[in-house]
Amino acid sequence: MFPKGTKRKFSDSREEPVAGGEDVNQSSLAAVRMLSSYSLQRQSLLDMSLIKLQLCHMLVEPNLCRSVLIANTVRQIQEEMTQDGTWQIMTQALSAANAAAQCSADRLVATEVLCRQTEAAQGEQVPKPFPVVGSEGCPAKEVLEEEAAAAEVGMTMSTVSPQAPTSYLPGTFGMDPCWEEEETGEDDDDEEEEEDSEECGSGSEGEERERDSLVEDTRTAEQVFGTFEIKNPAPSPDPALEELFSDVDASYYDLDTVLTGMQSVPKMGPYDLLESLSSHGPSPLSSSTSCRSDLNELDHIMEIIVGS
């Protein structure tokens, strides 16, 4: 199906005797058809793999081996497509299409920015409000529980680019706060975080409920478009938003990092909130490990309390 042997066939057809100019054109056409069929097959394999990765996050607990194997397959395809030059073409085409889809996101963006600006009184950079908002946002969490990680992954997949407005869907941050937190964590002190969360929580619950229904609609589009924003994020039209994310390390938005990074992140439970509030803004690199060991501890404590 996808072995390099397909290309061997191409050279086989070229070996056929060429009688005249017309035949040359015909064999070239055949070759082009062969190549494009290979590209189509490769593309469908890529699409299938991405869907599998999203689906696997819907399960109760994803099979890590399967996820890793699928992610590696996606990476392989991506590498080959990058070498071919097809990857760049595709991302450009999709970001153009994405720009068209942005209008529905504008309203959501507005409410989110609004929320953020109320908490950032000094107007200084607030790199960390999203996850806190998300964790406070109970409606967002409800959606998460209903659809398990389907929403989570959908959002994560489209969260890839810090530049593109699509990643600013508020649902996003509600869905995967822990991961976001790791990436955007700064040296906020606890107090400021708590203030932020309180303000956002009280001020925007109504808006959050609205947001969630909108999230449902736009999510499918974002899943598809968002996935291809990975290597070459579209330039952001909104300088304010761009500024807010300027300190984010873009390497975290590589396809493979998204896909494998997801696996280490537990679904947001009520005790993750404690975790996020008490954290001192760990640096992105170490946060995954400290997050995990703290979670294990909390896990242990919970088991004792619950007596399970």
Q: Which stretch, 37-45, 100-108, 217-225, 238-246, contacts other proteins (CB under 8 A)?
A: 37-45
Task: Find the binder of other proteins among 112, 192, 222, 272 (CB under 8 A).
Answer: 272
Q: Which stretch, 11-19, 72-80, 82-90, 204-212, contacts other proteins (CB under 8 A)?
A: 72-80
Does position 269 bind other proteins by CB under 8 A? yes
Task: Find the binder of other proteins among 131, 185, 261, 282 (CB under 8 A).
Answer: 261
Task: Find the binder of other proteins among 19, 22, 60, 235 (CB under 8 A).
Answer: 60
Task: Find the binder of other proteins among 43, 263, 277, 290 (CB under 8 A).
Answer: 263
Q: Which stretch, 12-20, 70-78, 106-114, 165-173, contacts other proteins (CB under 8 A)?
A: 70-78
Q: Which stretch, 152-160, 215-223, 238-246, 265-273, contacts other proteins (CB under 8 A)?
A: 265-273
Does position 117 bind other proteins by CB under 8 A? no
What does the alpha-carbon distance between residue 48 and residue 50 come to, in Å, rounded to a whole number? 6
CB of 48 to other proteins, least distance (A): 6
CB of 259 to other proteins, least distance (A): 8
Question: Applying CB under 8 A, which residues contact other proteins?
Answer: 1-5, 41-42, 45, 48, 52, 60-61, 63-66, 68-69, 71-73, 76-77, 145, 252, 254, 256-258, 260-261, 263-264, 266-269, 271-272, 285, 288-289, 292, 295-296, 298-300, 302-303, 306, 308
